[in-house]
Amino acid sequence: MLHHCCRCNWLKILFRSNFCQRKLSSSHFNCRLFGSDLVPSTSQWIEIKEEDLPSKTILSLEEVRHVENLALVQYEDLNFEKTILEDAIRFADILLTVNTDDVEPLYTVLEDESLYLREDIVTEGGSAENILKNAQSVMEDYFVAPPGNIALSDSEHKSN
């Protein structure tokens, strides 16, 4: 199946499978596989059923809120966000059906390359003005922020 061209004598042709016989009109002595014969005729995917997956993760509203607070983003409707997140998790569950025994994680496709260090020489600087340029609130050379030390989860000031 993997060779693209085979020379067969006419006796062998009689016993070849269908895809070769239909090319007979071009030559009695050449039995050639065309490129198109190698494109599959149907989907090659394995069907993954619901029962192949572990049980579906159902989140509590607290858990959703917890992720919101870590992410510092939220949806307007907490229940809708719960559904979106559960769907995302469910889709990811497909990975759990793949055997990864003795497989190392891949952090970067450049793992076989060296990172090059440049010389420790200053080549640019004095860019304070550029760095501050796009900030909305600046005072002298400082970015201005409201006070910290308060976690969003502890406060009643939730953006809704």
Partner 1 sequence: MSSTDVLMKPLVSVLQMLRNRVISTEELLHRTYTRINETKSLNAFVSVVEKNDNLEFCIKDDRSSILKGIPFAVKDNFSTRNISTTCASNMLRNYVPTYSATVVKKLTDAGGTLMGKTNLDEFAMGVGTVDSIIGPTRNPWQYDFQHPNPDDWYIAGGSSGGSAVAVATGASYFALGSDTGGSIRLPASFCGVVGLKPTYGSLSRHGLISLVNSMDVPGILARCVDDVVFIYNILSGNDPRDSTTVQGKVEKVVMEENPSVKDLVVGIPKQYYGPDVSPEIIDCWKWAADTFSNNGAKVVEVSLPHTQYSIVCYHVLCCGEVASNMARYDGLQYGHRSDGGFTEEMYAKSRNEGFNESVRGRITAGNYFLLRRNYRKYYEKAQKVRRLIQTDIKKVFDKGSGKNSGVDVLLAPVTVSTAPQYKTFAQKTNSYRTVEHDIYTQSANMAGVPAISVPVRLSQAKLPISLQLLASNFNEGTLLRAAKFLENASSFQHPKFDF
Q: Is 86 helix (H, G, I), strand (E, B) or coil?
A: helix
Residue labelled with tokens 């559904």: 83
> 142 is written with which tokens?
């400082």
| 18 forms part of the interface with partner 1 (CB under 8 A) | no
The smaller minimum CB distance to partner 1, of residues 51 and 147, is found at: 147
Residue appearing with tokens 């796009």? 134
Return the residue of 14, 72, 122, 139 that touches partner 1, per CB under 8 A: 72
The torsion of the CA quartet 59, 65, 71, 73, rounded to 10 degrees, works out to 110
DSSP state, residue 79: H
Near partner 1 in 26-55, by CB under 8 A = 33-36, 38-40, 42-46
Whether the Cβ atoms of residue 7 and residue 29 lie closer than 8 Å to each other = yes
Would you count residue 78 as binding partner 1 (CB under 8 A)?
no
Q: What residues pair up with 5 in beta bridges, in sequence order?
A: 32
> For partner 1, which stretch binds (CB under 8 A), given 8-16, 22-30, 109-117?
109-117
Residue numbers of the site for partner 1 (CB under 8 A)?
Answer: 1-4, 33-36, 38-40, 42-46, 67-68, 70-75, 81, 84-85, 87-89, 91-92, 94-96, 98, 100, 103-110, 113, 115-116, 118, 127, 130-131, 133-137, 143, 145-152, 155, 157, 159
